[in-house]
Every structure is written in structure tokens, then in C-alpha cells.
Amino acid sequence: MIGLGWVPPSEEGVMLLPAGCQWDAVRTSAAIADAAFQILDGTENCAAIIDPRTSSTYWLLPPGETAGFAHWERLGRYVTLLAAGSRTHYVGVPPSHRRTGPGLHWRITGEWSGRYLAQPYYLGAVLTSAVFFAHGPGALPTPCALCERELQPKESVTLTARRTPTDPPRTLTVHPACARTARLRASSQEPRP
């Protein structure tokens, strides 16, 4: 179950808090955030931290909920995941009442849900669309059709197979190891150029 109940401190100034403790965070550019807000407004009405000085936007996520989610790996060039790990990342968190600049502030929608933490899977899908919108369809690497991790063209196979027994046959580009693990029965298997 995703815990979405965290609220920022009510102190007057900005607090520097470590990611990976009470929440994880993702950071992206203003251009990608603007594209994401067009999708998020009205659907995922959670708050985001705007840093006008660096033209960055931060979304806070429940801690540990991003582990194993392949979207973050694919988005790595445009979206930085700040979570618990070998290096501690700090995020400036404005007080809950600061909703306008000029400094760090919360971006709150008109139909705000009251949540300061975003749903990681939904936000990841929206940010994927936002990267496509802001930078074009070639901006992100192709994902493996089975594990969704980044696929290097020289290390992939394209096969005609079924993902499940009830699926119609279709062309899948996958890691060779994923094809073996899934025991895909292919009518043809060729290295991808």
C-alpha cells in the first residue's frame, strides 16, 4: 500500500531534507514539468516543488516505491531519481503555505487533492509522455517488450511470438535473456541490426 499522507513542515523557511527517508523524489526540467502538468492537472492533483532559480521541478514520492520500476531507468537522461542509496541527496522543501515565488514554492492545482506525495507508477508514465512531448519520439531508448528496461540495439533480438498464450502473435524486441526466461516460442529469431 502506498503511503501518501506526508505533509511538509510548517516552519517559515525552506528546509533542506534528505531524499530516501520520509520520501523519495524525482527532479526534471521546467520544460518536461510543463508538459507533465498538462496531463497531471485534473488527474493526479498532487503538489510539486518549483525551483525557479534552477528551472527544476521536484515531485515527492512514497519512500521505496520506485524500486524495480523500469520507467525511472528509461527516463534517466531527463529525470533524476533521488532515493536512498550510497549518496544522500537533499531537496529544499518550502513551507506548506508558500505557493508562489520568487523562490522555492509548491505548485498546487485548482482542484488539489491535498497530497504532497505523488503516485510513482502514474507519475512515471506521465513523465514518459512528457519527455516525448518536450523532446520528440526519439528522446527515450526503446524498452524491452518483456522487462521494460532499456534495450541496446546490438544486444537485442526481434522475434514473432506471443507474450501470453492468449495473445495473438506479434513482433517483439527483447533482451535475449528475457526471451529465454519467458521461453518465447518464436517463428523467427534474428539479431536486430
Higher pLDDT, 179 or 118: 118
pLDDT at 56: 97
Cell numbers that stand for 111 in this block: 482542484
pLDDT at 151: 76
pLDDT at residue 190 greater than cutoff 70: no
pLDDT at residue 129 greater than cutoff 50: yes
pLDDT tens digits along 53-90: 999 999 999 998 876 666 777 788 899 999 887 688 99
pLDDT at residue 187 greater than cutoff 70: no
Beta bridge partners of 117: 60
Q: How far apart are CA 44 and CA 55, in angstroms?
A: 22
pLDDT at 189: 42
The three-point CA angle 138-44-148 to 5° equals: 40
pLDDT tens digits along 148-177: 777 776 777 888 877 677 878 878 888 888
Considering the entire predicted model, what is its pTM? Answer: 0.74
Query: Domain ranges in the chain?
Result: 15-135, 153-191
Q: What is the DSSP string of 77-127?
A: TTEEEE-SSSS--EEEE--TT--S-SSSEEE--TT--SBSB--HHHHHHHH
pLDDT at 3: 60
pLDDT at 191: 46
